[in-house]
Amino acid sequence: MSTEPPARRADPVKRLGIRDIAARAAAAPIVALTAYTAPMARMLDSHCDLLLVGDSLGMVVYGFDSTLAVTLEMMIAHGAAVMRGAARACVIVDLPFGSYQESPAQAFRNAARVMAETGCTGVKLEGGAAMAETIAFLVARGIPVLGHVGLMPQSVHGHGGFRTQGRSADEAARILADALAVEQAGAFATVLEGVTEPLGRQVAEALAIPVIGIGASPACDGQILVTEDLLGLFGTFTPRFVRRYAELGGAVAKAAEEYAADVRARRFPGAKECVGIGKDG
Ligand code: KIV
């Protein structure tokens, strides 16, 4: 038997937990993006603190005109894929419309399925004061919850469209109260979407938990965007709050155009893409 010590293995990457998210927010803004697939998660993982498997996938991936038709099964399939791709980022999966609003027990049953079948760290759900009891119920039973207040896409019809929230004093006061209710209920952080900048700043200053903004304020403790928006891969509608860091949609169309021309002209496949002809055999 060898007396050699076993070779030292490289330390496995440690996944960030909800405590790390809060600690990081104290030092620098939290970097968050959406991810729906394993390859995208792999590309984003080392750059992000938090990856959200958002139900925006209904619009971005499935072509629905809202998030309302997204099912629990879709969220579980994409959540599991993202977990296979990301080793370091804290992965949170959205609970889709209709899977949690009925009762805290319904929310627990479905959130537990998401946690067990994906291996994610926690779930996100939309709603402020109206969802506080549900958030507290989940947190008390070991399920970390990321809140989501302000513009809530699952309430698009109630909001009268995807419009900025908090323009009137009443609306702003309600959103601040919602954010405080989510914090009080035990959420580890909250998303704040689509509000006026002064309100975004006010909410970020009022809450002790991290506030992750999207179309909110630079004063938030972190920022999140839909990855396909910043890559220029989702052309249907680009909200004002998106900054495009790449125009990959044009690159994809150009690659498809060149491929089509090569196939039609019999330039693809060539000798080096075939086996048994040419000098490489
Ligand atoms: O569904 C989603 O992707 C989201 C983010 C935009 C915050 O909720």
pLDDT tens string 190-207: 999 999 999 999 999 999
* 193 catalytic residue (yes or no): yes
pLDDT for 68-97, tens place per residue? Answer: 999 999 999 999 999 999 999 999 999 999
For 17, 64, 197, 210, 211, the CA distances from 29, given in Å and listed in that order, are 16, 32, 17, 9, 10
Looking at domain 18-246, its CATH class is: alpha beta
* Pocket probe mutation, ligand 1, options 61, 66, 124, max atoms within 8 Å of Cβ: 124
* Pocket probe mutation, ligand 1, options 192, 226, 229, 241, max atoms within 8 Å of Cβ: 226
User: Which atom of ligand 1 approaches the CA of 56 most closely?
Assistant: 1
Q: Give residue 93 CA to ligand 1 midpoint distance, Å.
A: 10
- At residue 2 the predicted structure's pLDDT band, cuts being 50, 70 and 90, is very low
Mean pLDDT of 245-257: 97
**DSSP letter for each residue of 52-70:** EE-TTHHHHTS--SSSTT-
Q: Give residue 74 CA to ligand 1 midpoint distance, Å.
A: 15
Q: Give residue 94 CA to ligand 1 midpoint distance, Å.
A: 8
- At residue 10 the predicted structure's pLDDT band, cuts being 50, 70 and 90, is low
Task: Give domain limits for the chain.
Answer: 18-246, 248-281
pLDDT at 88 (0 to 100)? 98
> Which entry of 126, 183, 193, 228 is annotated as an active-site residue?
193
In the three-class reduction of DSSP (H, G, I as helix; E, B as strand; rest coil), residue 185 is classed as helix
In the three-class reduction of DSSP (H, G, I as helix; E, B as strand; rest coil), residue 238 is classed as coil
Give the pocket of ligand 1 (CB within 6 Å).
34, 52, 54-56, 94, 148, 191, 193, 214, 224, 226
Nearest partner of 65 among 148, 160, 152, 153, judged by Cα: 153
pLDDT averaged over every residue in the chain: 94
* Pocket probe mutation, ligand 1, options 94, 123, 126, max atoms within 8 Å of Cβ: 94
- At residue 160 the predicted structure's pLDDT band, cuts being 50, 70 and 90, is confident
Q: Which residue has the higher pLDDT, 8 or 105?
A: 105
Q: Give residue 279 CA to ligand 1 midpoint distance, Å.
A: 52
